[in-house]
Amino acid sequence: MKIAVSDFDGTLFFHQNDTIPQINIEAVKKWRKAGNIFCFCSGRDVRSLMFEVNKSDLEYDFIICNNGGTLFDKNLNIKKSFLLDKKMLTKLVYSDIATNSWHIMYSSVDMMRTTIHSDKSQLLKYFQLPKYKNQNIIKIITIEEALKEINPVQISLAYENEQIAEMYAKRIESEFNNAFSANLNLNCIDVCQKNITKANGIKELLKLHPDWQVEKILTIGDAQNDVPMIKEFNGFSLNSAKEQAKQCASKLYDSVGEMLLDNL
């Protein structure tokens, strides 16, 4: 039995046409029919992820969300979660690191909320999309409301460019008593509990299934936050991926479907 772990956005699902390519859906079916396991590993929270997944007939066995901050089984039962330290989080969201961000997006086990700081925030367009209308997936609240209502496993920040994001990511990991991991993805930072990455999320899933063999893990992703799981498990990337992911991949494919069929 092999265990395939795929990133979602830009790897399995593509925003250009808002779909999961059929080659991926059919390959996953063949993969699971052969007795193998298929998992998502996303930076998204589970509600926004499943909003897209449920529009297709894509099959899966486990879900890792929030860059490893939450783990779910196929019935969406929470198996593990790693909450941010509330004291350090409060310090962070009131610091210049967060106030200079276009937004603060808070993800808990069961909800996602946002504080908007700038009209440059890419999240603003999502509030206008018909597919998200009345879905209660993203709701704007103040920092004070967020700290009162939510126990986040992740917050996400966004800046003008990648260089600024990288500068703030270094500060996040050095100025808050070693409380956070800063997972970079282009001009954005996903802030999780210390040592929480996609690679760590897979390791936590392995702990829940001691019969799984590490050498049977296959990972594939397209972006900077996928690099830890690609490196850790000698994984793959796509020809269309960001350079950071391609450079550390053992092989490049045109699609997740191609990778699965190549490793059946």
d(CA 125, CA 111): 19
183 beta partners: 190
pLDDT of residue 137: 59
Residue 164 CB neighbour total at 10 angstroms: 15
Task: Write down the pLDDT at residue 161.
Answer: 95
- Domain residue ranges of the chain, discontinuous segments joined by +: 3-81+197-262, 86-193
Tokens 């350079």 correspond to what residue? Answer: 243
Predicted confidence (pLDDT) per residue in 204-220, tens digit: 999 999 999 999 999 99
**Gyration radius (Cα) of the chain, Å:** 18
**Using CA atoms, how far apart are residues 61 and 74, in angstroms rounded to an integer?**
5
pLDDT at residue number 47:
86
Q: Tell me, what's the pLDDT at 152? A: 96
| CATH number of the 86-193 domain | 3.30.1240.10
Q: How far apart are CA 112 and CA 235, in angstroms?
A: 30
Which DSSP helix (H) or strand (E) runs through 171?
helix 162-174
> 221 and 42 in contact (C-beta within 8 Å)?
no
Q: 3-81+197-262 has which CATH code?
A: 3.40.50.1000
Alpha-carbon distance of 78 to 47, in angstroms, equals: 12
pLDDT of 101: 97
Answer left, alpha or beta for residue 10, where phi above 0 means left and psi between -120 and 50 means alpha: left
Q: Which stretches of the chain drop beneath a pLDDT of 70?
A: 127, 129-138
- pLDDT for the residue numbered 136: 61
